[in-house]
């Protein structure tokens, strides 16, 4: 079985070493992926100086180019964000805006550079909005060239106005654990298919 790699962009607003619900679900997904011989790493985006813009390198100390290189080297992208005011975090929005630069990048065959890469979304929050956020994330990533697997998203929403975070749970709910497992399994399966049979060049 061919080895694969994954990178998780964790778009929490909390800098390390603060605990983060988005980080927790990202690591749970990476744990699930190890069962399918997928290695992985976590990048907490807010720990880096990511400049606003839509180019691959905004200069002047911009740290996006290193993150971009790690995403480009991976087979699977895990895009993980909290819910704030019913929307993805501002950090997640900035990451999507910076990934927009990949629309103009191509491989040696002329395909968009992100063709052949798989995207999984994970959303956590103690308010609703997960379905809308997943839709927004996948629309953006699909435009950029990522492929979405069947049931390739996982989420947890706490009870409305309760203030309980995913981090606060003593155990992962069965439904979330099952969804994490399915998303990881399908992502690894799809990534191997695309690794073997890439999209045709135009």
What is residue 132's DSSP assignment? H
Please list, in sequence order, all residues whose beta carbon lies within 8 angstroms of the beta carbon of residue 173, skipping any fewer than 6 positions away: 156
pLDDT mean over 120-131: 94
What is residue 36's DSSP assignment? T
Question: Taking 80 as the threshold, does the pLDDT of residue 104 lie above it?
Answer: yes
Question: Taking 70 as the threshold, does the pLDDT of residue 1 lie above it?
Answer: no
| Helical axes 21-34 vs 174-196, angle rounded to 10° | 60
User: Looking at the domain that runs over 4-196, which CATH code has it been given?
Assistant: 3.40.50.360
Question: Taking 70 as the threshold, does the pLDDT of residue 201 lie above it?
Answer: yes
Which segments within the chain are labelled E, that is strand? 4-10, 38-44, 76-84, 87-88, 118-125, 153-157
Query: What pLDDT is recorded for position 126?
Result: 86
Domain positions in the chain are 4-196
pLDDT mean over 122-144: 96
Query: What pLDDT is recorded for position 161?
Result: 78
Burial pattern 38-54, b for ≥16 Cβ within 10 A else e, equals bebebbbbbeeebeebe
Least confident of 18-22, 69-73, 127-131, 146-150: 127-131
Across the chain, what does the average pLDDT equal? Answer: 96
List, in sequence order, every residue forming a beta bridge with 54; answer none if it has no partner: none
Query: What pLDDT is recorded for position 84?
Result: 94
150-192 pLDDT, tens digit each: 999 999 998 877 889 999 999 999 999 999 999 999 999 999 9
């Amino acid at each position: 079985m061919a080895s694969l790699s994954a990178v998780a962009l964790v778009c929490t607003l909390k800098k390390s070493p603060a605990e983060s619900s988005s980080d927790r679900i990202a690591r749970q997904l990476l744990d699930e992926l190890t069962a399918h011989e997928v290695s992985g790493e976590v990048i907490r985006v807010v720990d880096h100086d990511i400049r606003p813009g839509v180019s691959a390198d905004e200069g002047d100390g911009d740290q996006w180019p290193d993150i971009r290189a790690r995403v480009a080297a991976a087979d699977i992208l895990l895009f993980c964000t909290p819910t704030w005011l019913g929307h993805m975090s501002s950090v997640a929005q900035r990451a999507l805006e910076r990934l927009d630069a990949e629309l103009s990048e191509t491989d040696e065959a002329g395909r968009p550079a992100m063709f052949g890469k798989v995207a999984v979304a994970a959303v956590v929050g103690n308010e609703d909005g997960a379905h809308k956020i997943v839709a927004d994330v996948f629309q953006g990533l699909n435009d950029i060239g990522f492929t979405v697997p069947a049931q390739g998203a996982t989420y947890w929403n706490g009870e409305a106005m309760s203030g309980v975070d995913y981090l606060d749970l003593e155990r992962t709910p069965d439904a979330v654990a099952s969804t994490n497992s399915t998303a990881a399994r399908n992502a690894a399966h799809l990534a191997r298919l695309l690794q073997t049979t890439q999209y045709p060049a135009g």
